[in-house]
Chains A and B, each alone.
Chain A
Amino acid sequence: MFDKVEAFYRPDSVREALRLLQSGRGQARVVAGGTDLVVEADDSVRVLIDITRAGLNYIRRKRGGCTIGATATMAELEDSDIIRDLAGGLLANVARTCGSVPIRNLATIGGNMANASPAADMATPLLVLDAAVVIADSRGRRKLPLADYLAGAGRSAKSLLVEIVLPDPPCGKGCRWSYQKLGRTAVDISLVSVAAGLQLDSRRRVKWARIALGAMAPTAMRASGAEQRITGRTLDCALIAEIGEQAAREARPITDVRATAEYRREMCAVLTRRAIEECADHAGQTGCSL
């Protein structure tokens, strides 16, 4: 447990939170929703810094995109008109799969990214939406791609993830989005998850594609090879099957208590096919057997 914690701070600004982190000598941990941190029960922690009152609880529309403060909860994302209107509601729908209602009232989008579990539910739709993160430290703020952050860039004991930035995704009639999650139950952690976004022209040719895989590598990842292979081609059953196989080849799954690597890879192909199929929105028309 956290028996050795000597102080619990509730800074009311990012500046104050950073000052506390600086003076924490590496023994301070940031608390947001706490749903991962509390379970982890790290014995080396001496100072806890609660950032839920530091002014990071917002969801804002702005020119060219929107910004989400790090301590916006899953429940707030589900309910936000801004987020529901974004990419066919992709992010709002995924937020709704992040555990039970009591968990979603606590868990934050910043915590989900900062903890960077390979199975973090929000990571795959955020990668599909080309998300960036804003990191604050004593030198100021900087923005970097979410993929880089998940891989370890910009992370330190004295920096803080303050904001997620989402550029406006392609939109219009030809844009489709899908999220597929395989877990033991609806509210459980995912064994495999796939998020996809496609922009199709009127002849079903793929103009733009994003495919992201969860729980298939040390971090959530883009399936870049599959994205390249699908772009510029016309969707049909054979192509959809090919893209599923390609995504599974790019993945680097492990065997753990929840599933074997072989099973994950197999399911990655299936979920990728389903995601593309849902985006293609032609289930039943072509008789693709998924």
Chain B
Amino acid sequence: MKTMELHLTVNGKSVEWTIAPAELLLDVLRRQGYFGVKRGCEKGECGACTVLVNGKPINSCLMFAAQAEGCEILTIEGVARDGRLDPLQEAFLDHGAVQCGFCTGGMVLSAKALLDRHPHPTEDEVREALAGHLCRCTGYKKPVEAVLAAAGKKKVKRTRVAAEVAQ
């Protein structure tokens, strides 16, 4: 089996890994223990394997690991800093936007990339940013609300039931 060396930065740490020439970034990251990168559809439809490459969300199931040479990768494991959750992660928890959690890592990363570029997105922009992520549990309303809340948009429309529960 032919192998090659891959040099990249993952969550701020420089790494050098030995890979097979045509391995996918998803497979390599999971082999190295980044299990927050989920294996879903493996054809770029579900978004569970999303990571940020140089700040941009991509489907790691569609990218050869060798293409990431020299790149900076951010996985969901690297979003919290010094044991403190990112405001986006807090917002996902506060808004009940996490259920089984399989899609959550990808959604948080896509949302982070959006907010890094557009700190005050419209709801349509949030929906567009999350359109590549399929959730089979909660749906999309709560994640969208969570992202808007994290962006400082407080106009979260709560349902009557949720408002009563909160009281």
Of B69, B113, B131, B133, chain A has the most CB atoms within 10 Å of the CB of B131
CB atoms of A34 and B21 under 8 A apart: no
Residues on A with beta carbons closer than 8 Å to the beta carbon of B21: 5-8, 48
CB atoms of B58 and A38 under 8 A apart: no
B63 to chain A, nearest CB (A): 6
B67 lies within 8 A of chain A by Cβ: yes
Of B4, B22, B57, B64, chain A has the most CB atoms within 10 Å of the CB of B22
CB atoms of A48 and B64 under 8 A apart: yes
**Chain B, residue nearest A5 (CB):** B22
Query: Which segment of A17-25, A59-67, A99-107, A157-165 sits at the interface?
Result: A99-107
A83 to chain B, nearest CB (A): 18
Interface of A is mostly: loop
Residues on A with beta carbons closer than 8 Å to the beta carbon of B59: 35, 102-103, 106
Residues on B with beta carbons closer than 8 Å to the beta carbon of A50: 64, 66-67
Residues on A with beta carbons closer than 8 Å to the beta carbon of B44: 35, 39, 99-100, 102-103
CB atoms of B43 and A34 under 8 A apart: no
Interface residues on A, range: 20 to 34
B36 lies within 8 A of chain A by Cβ: no
B62 lies within 8 A of chain A by Cβ: yes
Rounded to whole angstroms, the CA-CA distance of A18 and B72 in the bound complex is: 28
Rounded to whole angstroms, the CA-CA distance of A105 and B60 in the bound complex is: 12
B105 lies within 8 A of chain A by Cβ: no
CB atoms of A102 and B66 under 8 A apart: no
A10 lies within 8 A of chain B by Cβ: yes
A185 to chain B, nearest CB (A): 8
Apart from A10-B67, A100-B133, A102-B110, list 16 A-B contacts with CB within 8 A. A2-B22, A31-B64, A31-B67, A34-B62, A39-B62, A45-B22, A50-B67, A100-B47, A100-B131, A101-B57, A101-B110, A101-B129, A101-B131, A101-B132, A102-B59, A105-B53
Q: B residues engaging A (CB < 8 A)?
A: 2, 4, 20-22, 24, 43-44, 47, 50, 53, 56-59, 61-64, 66-67, 69, 110, 113, 128-129, 131-133
Q: A residues engaging B (CB < 8 A)?
A: 1-3, 5-8, 10, 31, 33-35, 38-39, 45, 48, 50, 52, 75, 99-103, 105-106, 186-187
